[in-house]
Structure 1
């Protein structure tokens, strides 16, 4: 599995929650180092620059990520929120967030890892208390556990993204159909 961060979920908090991939099988961790965590903050567009983090930042981000995923799952399944997960996300959301600054060249957002995490937690609060809750779906690929916002016409989208999951599933289904269809004889 590649180490590139993927942003296909339609909401930053869901993309953040998806950084532990394939939760039901191989469990592939994207936040293996403080640098990989900071890369997510940068690649997501949340910050322009982030101060170097440490292992504590990774542990805290991982705890908040898991709490977000739990709350998203609770909400998606129509269940009450897990109290511990709720406390974890709310505690992170209460901390100082990323604060953009105006410069001669436009907007500049420099942050610490803690500020970036507080901002992600606040985004999760907005998502889970907002109008997109009914649009949250889990990817149809059984190996994938990403949750995404389905804004497709008729809300018929089946996968988190065509590049990441849709093409794999469609190709596998095509190969399965080819195997089971009888060979055409040329008489």
Structure 2
């Protein structure tokens, strides 16, 4: 199975918020169909299987995703929480979450889209009220708007992930240095 979603943020709620990419420029939407939303729930590990969702599930998920992003931004910038975003997140978190079950072959979590969304909302509540708030950073790539939890030693991480942004930034800096070197040598 090909995984289309990227999980580099260090928390399911932040990975969920990152499904609208490049918010400041191109705005690339990952949840274009109910299938893409269902795939995210499975690929993230939030659930093992999910009842196929519909258009209204995508609408609800994108509304909660935007609420999470707003609240994360508010918290990161030290601002008061946006009231509408808080209401949207808490409404989703109040719904029954996905419940893991023990089976003869191990742990298995089956869910409806509403239960998957409630589970993600609960992750957001835990993150935004917990000890990792000071570790949240926005990616250093100006094109990327992912927020991640920086658990690196000394909190020196600069981008959401090496594969997604770090290598791109480092390669661009290297090319810029190479272009500047001949000019400096000619002086």
TM > 0.5: yes
CA distance in 2, matches of 1:163, 1:123: 25
Per-residue deviation, residues 76-126 of structure 1 (Å, max 9, x unmatched): 000000000000000000000001111111111110000000000000000
Matches of 1:161 and 1:108 in 2, distance apart? 29
1:147 Cα deviation from its structure 2 partner: 0.2
d(CA) in 1 for partners of 2:169, 2:95: 41
- Is residue 134 from structure 1 mapped to residue 126 from structure 2 by the alignment? no
The residue number in structure 2 matching 1:56 is: 56
Measured in 1, the distance between the counterparts of 2:99 and 2:12 equals 17
Runs of 4+ in 1 over 6 A off after TM superposition: none
The number of equivalent residue pairs is 183
Does residue 143 of the first structure (1) align with residue 143 of the second (2)?
Answer: yes
In the other structure, the counterpart of 2:47 is 47
The residue aligned with 1:123 is 123
Match of 2:30 in 1: 30
Aligned-partner Cα distance in 1 for 2:103–2:165 = 40
| RMSD of aligned Cα (Å) | 1.1
Query: How far did residue 41 of structure 1 move?
Result: 0.2
Looking at secondary structure, tell me which structure has more helix per residue: 2
Structure 2, unaligned runs of 5 or more: none
Helix, strand or coil: the match of 2:61?
Answer: helix
Find the counterpart in structure 2 of residue 95 from structure 1: 95
User: Can you list the C-alpha shifts for 1:9-44, whole angstroms capped at 9, x where unaligned?
Assistant: 000000000000000000000000000000000000
Q: Superposed, which structure 2 residues align to 1:155-170 within 5 Å?
A: 155-170=155-170
* In structure 1, distance between residues paired with 2:73 and 2:162: 22
Deviation per residue, 1:25-71 (Å, 9 max, x gap): 00000000000000000000111100000000000000000000000
> What is the CA–CA distance in structure 2 between the aligned matches of 1:138 and 1:175, rounded to whole Å?
24
| Corresponding residue number in structure 1 for 2:10 | 10
Distance in 1, matches of 2:104 and 2:43, equals 23
